[in-house]
Amino acid sequence: MTSCVAPVFNPFTLTLVQLGSTGSDKAANLQHAHEMVMKAAKSGSGTKPQVIVLPECFNSPYGYVHFPTYAENIGYTPGEEYDIQTSVSESVKMLSSAAKEAGVWLVGGSIPERDEETNKVYNTCTVYSPTGALVALHRKVHLFDIDIPGKITFKVRHFYPALALPALIVSAGERDAHWRRYNKLFRHWYEPRRLIALHSIKHSPEFARIGLGICYDVRFQELAMISARQGCHVVVYPGAFNLTTGPLHWELLQRARAVDNQIFFSMCSPARDMTAGYHAWGHSMVVDPYGKVLVEADESEMIVHANIDPEPLQSVRAGIPVTKQRRFDVYPNVSAGK
């Protein structure tokens, strides 16, 4: 097997903020998110969390019609220092301030991001160190385009073509195999500094290696596989499943990704608001490498804490050593994320 050597993995507390009260007033949304991060940093059973996570699209109502209006320019280049003071993004400034004030690593959910050069809109997560530094950025890989008759239809690209995927178009001449095409996408967009992989950032957590995706990305196991093969102990996905896909697959997919990759897996949802245009499932949770749900929210606004202990990861990998039993002579190795 080819994979990165994992760094030290020490116990830490992972906290999910299942945020409610997200309306049309962006300033109010940001203020509420800041208040909830501060509350999360002080709540729990006596141990201050090291990592706090916000949900997907926390600064705007959820829906393709809202994303262009609420989109912000971030202008971050992975691996380079970012000047928070000169940033034009209100959300970035708030998240930086919250991380610094709380003294935590903050996975800033996601916001609509507008690329200043291309004018394309992305669903983007930013990550901040306890000093408030912006240290990583991840753009959602897979757009949420589904159609379940009689239940829900959500076709992002039909309604807003400028919404974009961070991917290359591969020419016909390069189509030698499906997995090779897939790997070519990852080579360009998901080198470690682009993926989140906090291990590759100058200011990285000393307690664990953490990977990231966003919502619909969870249905594509390759992304979690790459994170795990590159040594991630924990993978976090801000997400917003609905009342159709939530009861069907929200827990199932998280447990599958955790068991398949022998990692801790977590998704953080908005709270459910039946007066909104999009009804989120809620039920933010953390799953251990055995597939056991450690903590789970209900559908309301709430904060949940999970104590991440390395022991389950170590014991499951020792007892069921699939990492040493893979057959790359039979199927491709996605470890490098090429």
Residue positions annotated with a catalytic role: 56, 140, 215
At residue 25, φ and ψ (nearest 5 deg) are -90, 105
Q: Which of 69, 121, 71, 116 is nearest to 91 (CA)?
A: 71
Burial class (CB in 10 A: 0-12, 13-18, 19+), 78: middle
Q: Which of 6, 100, 227 is nearest to 237 (CA)?
A: 227
Contact at 8 Å (CB) between 296 and 268? Answer: no
Contacts for 248 with CB less than 8 Å, ≥ 6 apart: none
Sign of CA dihedral 46, 44, 215, 288: positive
At residue 278, φ and ψ (nearest 5 deg) are -120, 130
**Dihedral, 154, 158, 164, 165 alpha carbons, nearest 10:** 60
- 51: DSSP letter: E
- Measure the CA–CA gap between 59 and 31, rounded to whole angstroms: 10
